[in-house]
Structure 1
Amino acid sequence: MTRRLVLVNSAWLMADKIVRLGVGLIVWVWLARHFGPEGFGLWNYAIAFTALFGAFATLGMDGVLVRELVRDPSRTGMLLGTAMGLRLLASALAAFASVGTLLWLRPGEWLPLVLVALNAVVLVFQSAQVIDLYFQARMHARPAVLAVNMAFLVTTIGRLGLLAIEAPMAWFAVTLVIEAGLAASLLVVAYRSAERNNTPWQFDAHVAKALLLESWPLLLSSLAVMIYMRMDQVMLASMAGDEAVGQFSAALRIAEVWYFIPMALMSAAFPAMMKKREEGPEAYERYVQRLYDAMAWLGLTVAIITSLAASWVVPLLYGKQFTPAAEILSIQIWAGVTVTMSFVHSRWLLAEGLQRYGLVYTLLGACVNVSLNLILIPRFGPHGAAWATLVTQIGLLPAQLMFPKARRNFLLMVNAVTAPYRLVKQ
C-alpha cells in the first residue's frame, strides 16, 4: 500500500466532492433564494426526515464490506451480491416506513408527502453504492467518481432549467430520483468495465449472516449519528416551523460543505491504516496520531475563518432574508473540529473491532442531543439547535474514558492539540 496510491485515490475522491461542491452549492443557493426560508425549510425537512430512515438502508456495513473486500478479493462476487441483496431489502423497508411515518405525523399535507416519497425512492437506487465500495477497496476511485458525477451534472442541468421556469418544488424532487437512478446505472457499467474476470454476483445466506453480525452495532451507531445530525431539523419543524428549518439548513449547508475533505482522506487512508496495524502497535499508533493531528487542525482552521466571515458570506450567498443564518453558522462551524476527528475515530473503531463500544458512544450522543434540543429549541429556536449540536459533539469526547479500550484513543485525540509543537520539535 504505497503513499502515492493513497494520495491518488484521495485526490479522485476529493475531485468528486469538489465538483459537487462547486456546482451543487450554486444550485443550492439558487434553490434557497427560489423557495424562500419557509419553502427551503420544507425542502430540507423532507431530506432530513428521509435520511433518518436512510441510515437503516445502508445496514451500517460499508466499512465492514470494504474491509472484507480488501482481505479476500476472491470472494468479491459473493460479497457484493450479498450486500446488494441486503441493501435492496433494507432500503425498500426504509422507504415504506418513511412514507408511513410522515402520513402519521403530517396528515393531509400533500407536498411534504410527495417530497418524502420521492426521497424514499432515492434510497432504493442508492443500494448500487456497494459498487462504489468495491472501487474504494481496490483503491481505484476514478470509475465511480466519473459515474456519479456524470449523473450529477446531467441532472444539475435539469435543475437549472427548472429554476429558469420557476417550477414547483415537487419537480425538483423528481430530479433527485433521476440522478440516483442514472448514477446506479453508470456504476453498474463502470463495474463491468473494471472487473475483467466478470465474477458473477451471488447471494449467500452465510455471508449475509456474517456481515449483519458484524455490522449491526455500526447500523445502530449510524442511526444514532443520524438522529443527532438530522433530528434537529425535524424537531425544529414541529417546534418552531418550517422557516426556522430554512434558516438553520442554510447555515448547516455552509458548515458541512467542506466535510468532503476529511471524509475523502479517511476513505482513502483506511486500507493503509489496516496495513499499519499489521506492522505493529507503534507504527499503527503513529499513523493514527498523524490522522488526528491533521483532522483537528483542519477543523480548527476552517472554524476560525468561517466565524470571521459568516456575517457577510451568508447574506451574500442567500440574500438578506437569510441574515439570521449567519449567527447560526458562527455556532455550527465549531462542531466541525470534533466532526473531522470523528471520521478517524469511526475507522479506528472498525479496525479495532470495537463496534459495540461505538454503538454505546453514539447512542449516548443521540440522547444528549435530543434532550438538549427539547430544552433549547423552544427558547432559542434554530440558534438553540446549533448550540445543542456543538455541546453534544464536544461533550461526548470524555465519555471514552469510561471504556478501558478507548482511553488510549482519547489521549491521541487530545494530543492533537500539541501537533504544532511536536512538528517544530522534530
Structure 2
Amino acid sequence: MKKKITVNYIFNLLYQILVIILPLITTPYVSRILGPDGIGTYSYTTSIVTYFILFGCIGLNLYGQREIAYYQNDQEKRSTAFFEILLLKMCTMTISIIIFIMTIQIMNQYKILFYIQIIDLIANMLDITYFYQGIEDFKKIVVRNVLVKILGIICIFAFVKEKNDLPLYAFIYSFSLLLGNLSMWITIHKYVCKVPLRSLQIKKHIKPTLILFFPQIAISIYTVLDRFMIGLITNNTAQIGYYEQAQKIVKLALTVVTSLSTVMLPRIANLYVQKDQEKIIQYTENSLIYTFLIAFPIMFGLIGISCNLIPWFLGSEFLESAQILIITSPIVVFIGISNILGFQYLIPTQRQKIYTISTIVGSCINLVLNWIFIPIFLSTGAAFASVIAELGVVVVQMCSIYKEINMISVIKKSKNYIFSSFIMFILIFALSFILEPTMIMTLILILIGILIYFGLLFLVKDKLIFETLHQFREKLK
C-alpha cells in the first residue's frame, strides 16, 4: 500500500509539475513577446472563462474522484457512477457553454479571445481525469499528457512571434488542453463495463456535488476573482500581467506541495468506507509533517531568490512581479496545510460542512481586502489580500478539527524544517544582492539553498530524512 501511494505521488507530482512547468518554459519567451498588457489581457479573459467552467462543472471533478474511489474494487458500481457523473457533467457544461456564447454577444472587448476560449469549456466537459485519479492510476494521466503538452510548447515557439499573435497563443493553449483531455478516453473502455441507460440515476448526484461546489465557488473568489478585480478597479491590464506571472511561479512551487493530497484523497476515502479512523489520522498527520518538510524551504527559497530570478526570467518589464512574489510566497505553506486538512481529511470523510465554512471565510476576507487594498496598492494589494485569506482558511480548519488532529505535535516534529529553512533564507537572500541576476546565478542560489537546508537537517539528525534514506538503501539492496 505504501509503495502504491509513493508511486502515485511521484506520478501525480510529475503531472502537476508538467501542467505548470511546461507553460513556464515558454514564460520568458512569451513575456517578452506579448508584454505585460498581452499577458494581462489573456489572464483577464481566462479569469472570466474560468467562472463558466466552474459553474459548468459544479464540483463534479472533485466529487467524481471521491465517488470512483469509493467503488475501486467494484467494476459495476464504478461504471455506473462514472456514466452518471459523466452525463450530469455534459448537461451542466452544455448549459454553461450556451450561456457563455450568449454573454460574448454583449461583450465590448476581447471577443476573438472569448470565442477561442470556448474550446476550454469543451475540453473541460470532456475531462475524465477524475476517473483515473479515483482508481489511483496516475501513471496514465502523466503519460497521455506529456506529448500533447510538449507539442503545445513547440507550437508556441514556432508560431507566436509578435504582440498581435495573442489570439494564436490562446488557441494553441486551448487546443492543447482539449487534445490532452481527449487522449484520456483511449483506454477508458478497459475500466468500465456497459451499463443500461435506464438504470442510471443522475439526480442523486446533484445534491452531494453541490455541497462540494459551494466551497469551490468560495475558493475561486480568492484564486480567480483577484485578477478580475485588478482589471476592474485599476483598468490596467499590465497590473494583471505583473500579478499573473508572479502567481505562475507560486503555482509551480505549490504543485510539489499539494500533489500528496490529490493522491491521498482516494486512499482516505477508501479507508473511510472501511471505517479505519486510526489509520486516517496517522496518514493525515504524517502528510502534514511531510508538507512542512518541503513547504517551508520552498516559501523561504522563493522570497530569497525573487529579486535575482524575475529580471532574467520574466524580463525588465516585469520587475514589479518580484515584490508580488515575495508577498505571496507564504501561500505555499498555507495552501499546503489547507490541502491536507481539506482535500485529504475533511472531504474524503464527508466533513464538507467544515471545509465549506473555511472557504467561505477565506473568500469573504479576500473580497473585502481586495476592495480596500487594490485601489491603494494595485496588484500588490491583491497579493496581500490573497495571503491573509489563505491564512483565514487554515485557521478555521485547524480550530474545527483540533481534537482529532494533533497540530501541536505536528508542529513540534516539524521544528527542524522551520529553523533550517529560515537559516537557508538568510544566507541566500544576502547572496542574491551580491550575485548578478542571471539564470546561472539563480541556479547557484537554489543549489546553495538546497545544500544548506538538507545539510542542517543532517546535522540535527532529522528523523524523517534518515528514515527516508534507510528506505531508499533497503530498496537498492
TM-score, structure 1 normalization: 0.89
Distance 1:124 1:238, change over 3 A: same
**C-alpha displacement of 1:97:** 3.6
Which structure has the higher relative contact order (CA within 8 Å, separation 6+)? Answer: 1
Alignment match of 1:121 (pick from 119, 124, 139): 119
1:336-384 Cα distance to aligned partner (Å, 9 max, x none): 1110112112221112212133222212211110110000000000110
Residue of structure 2 equivalent to 1:176? 173
Higher Cα radius of gyration = 2
Q: Which has the higher helix share?
A: 1
Distance 1:21 1:366, change over 3 A: closer
Is 1:75–2:77 an aligned residue pair? Answer: yes
Moved more, 246-255 or 275-284: 275-284
Q: Measure the CA separation in 2 of the matches of 1:208 and 1:370.
A: 34
Residue of structure 2 equivalent to 1:231? 225
1:320-345 Cα distance to aligned partner (Å, 9 max, x none): 11001100100011111110112112
Residue of structure 1 equivalent to 2:89? 87
Q: Measure the CA separation in 2 of the matches of 1:293 and 1:342.
A: 13
Q: Measure the CA separation in 1 of the matches of 2:185 and 2:364.
A: 39
Residue of structure 2 equivalent to 1:336? 332
Residue of structure 2 equivalent to 1:215? 209
Amino acid at match of 1:108: N
Residue of structure 1 equivalent to 2:153? 156
Is 1:108–2:108 an aligned residue pair? Answer: yes
5 Å matches for 1:16-415?
Answer: 16-72=15-71, 73=74, 74-101=76-103, 107-109=107-109, 112-130=110-128, 132-164=129-161, 168-192=165-189, 194-195=190-191, 199-200=193-194, 207-240=201-234, 241-277=236-272, 278=274, 280-347=276-343, 348-400=345-397, 403=400, 406-408=401-403, 412-413=406-407, 415=409
Q: Measure the CA separation in 1 of the matches of 2:115 and 2:199.
A: 31
TM-score, structure 2 normalization: 0.80
**C-alpha displacement of 1:246:** 0.5
**C-alpha displacement of 1:173:** 1.4
Q: Measure the CA separation in 2 of the matches of 1:415 and 1:203.
A: 51
Q: Measure the CA separation in 2 of the matches of 1:169 and 1:340.
A: 33
Amino acid at match of 1:170: P
Amino acid at match of 2:328: Q
Distance 1:425 1:124, change over 3 A: closer
Amino acid at match of 2:297: T
| 8 A contact 2:63–2:212 mirrored in 1 | no
Q: Measure the CA separation in 1 of the matches of 2:357 and 2:275.
A: 29
1:227-275 Cα distance to aligned partner (Å, 9 max, x none): 1111010000011111100111111111111222233222222233235
Moved more, 145-154 or 3-12: 145-154
| 8 A contact 2:47–2:228 mirrored in 1 | yes
1:46-86 Cα distance to aligned partner (Å, 9 max, x none): 11221122222222133332333233332232222221111
Moved more, 216-225 or 91-100: 91-100
Q: Measure the CA separation in 2 of the matches of 1:184 and 1:274.
A: 25
Distance 1:101 1:399, change over 3 A: farther
| SS of structure 2 residue aligned to 1:352 | coil
Distance 1:414 1:334, change over 3 A: farther
Distance 1:312 1:353, change over 3 A: same
1:20-64 Cα distance to aligned partner (Å, 9 max, x none): 444321113322211111111011111122112222222213333
**C-alpha displacement of 1:424:** 5.5
**C-alpha displacement of 1:187:** 1.1
1:179-236 Cα distance to aligned partner (Å, 9 max, x none): 23322331111323x43xx612565686322222212111111111011111010000
Q: Measure the CA separation in 2 of the matches of 1:125 and 1:203.
A: 24
Distance 1:12 1:201, change over 3 A: farther
Give the aligned CA root-mean-square deviation in angstroms: 2.5
**C-alpha displacement of 1:421:** 5.3
Distance 1:31 1:292, change over 3 A: same
Amino acid at match of 2:111: L
Distance 1:67 1:250, change over 3 A: closer
Identity between Structure 1 and Structure 2 (%): 16
Q: Measure the CA separation in 2 of the matches of 1:22 and 1:229.
A: 19
Distance 1:210 1:296, change over 3 A: farther
Q: Measure the CA separation in 1 of the matches of 2:263 and 2:35.
A: 38
Q: Measure the CA separation in 1 of the matches of 2:229 and 2:197.
A: 39
Amino acid at match of 1:229: T
* Corresponding residue pairs, total: 414
| 8 A contact 1:63–1:350 mirrored in 2 | no
Amino acid at match of 1:136: Q
Distance 1:16 1:204, change over 3 A: farther
Amino acid at match of 2:54: A
Distance 1:282 1:152, change over 3 A: same
Distance 1:76 1:352, change over 3 A: closer
Distance 1:151 1:321, change over 3 A: same
**C-alpha displacement of 1:299:** 1.9
**C-alpha displacement of 1:99:** 5.0
